[in-house]
Chain A
Amino acid sequence: MQVESLSRALAEHPFVAGLGEPEVSFLAGCTKNQRFGAGEYLFKEGSPADTLFLLRDGRVALESHVPGRGNVKLETLAAGDLLGWSALFDPHSFHLDGRALEATLTFAVDARCLREKMQSDTAFGYALTRRLLYHVHRRLERARLQQLDVYRAGL
Chain B
Amino acid sequence: MLEFERDPWRVESLRVTRVTRETEDTFTIELDAKPRAGFVFQPGQFNMLYAFGVGESAISIAGSADEPERLVHTVRAVGAVTNALAKAKQGERIGVRGPFGHGFPIAEARGKDLLLIAGGIGLAPLRPVILYAIQHRPEFRSVTLIYGARSPKDLLYPRELLSWASRLRLETTVDRAEDDWFGHTGVVTKFIEGALQNPESTVAMMCGPEVMMRFAARELTTLGVPEKSIFVSTERNMKCGVGLCGHCQLGPFLLCRDGPTFSYDRIGPLLSIREL
Contacts and interface: CB of A to CB of B under 8 A. Distances in A.
B189 A141 contact: yes
Classify chain A's interface size: 20 to 34
A149 B178 CA distance: 16
Interface stretch (A22-30, A67-75, A118-126): A67-75
Interface string A13-39: 000000000000000000000000000
Which 8 pairs show the lowest CB-CB distances between chains A and B?
A151-B120, A150-B209, A151-B150, A73-B185, A75-B186, A73-B177, A145-B187, A155-B235
Contact of A74 (B173, B185, B190, B212): B185
Q: Binding site of A, secondary structure by majority: helix, strand, loop or mixed?
A: mixed
Interface of B: 76, 78, 119-122, 148-150, 154, 173, 175-179, 181-187, 189-190, 194, 208-209, 211-212, 215, 235
Contacts of A150: 119-120, 208-209, 211-212
Nearest to B236: A155
Contacts of B194: 78, 80
A154 interface: yes
Contact of B179 (A70, A148, A151, A153): A70
Given A145-B211, A154-B76, A70 B178 contact: yes
Nearest to B120: A151
Q: Binding site of B, secondary structure by majority: helix, strand, loop or mixed?
A: mixed
Given A142-B189, A146-B187, A153 B182 contact: no
Given A70-B179, A146-B175, A146-B187, A155 B150 contact: no
Contacts of B187: 142, 145-146
A151 B211 contact: no
Interface of A: 59, 61, 69-76, 78, 80, 101, 141-142, 145-146, 148-155
Interface centre among A72, A76, A148, A153 (most CB of B within 10 A): A76
A155 B179 CA distance: 27
Given A151-B154, A153-B209, A141 B215 contact: yes
A141 B211 CA distance: 12
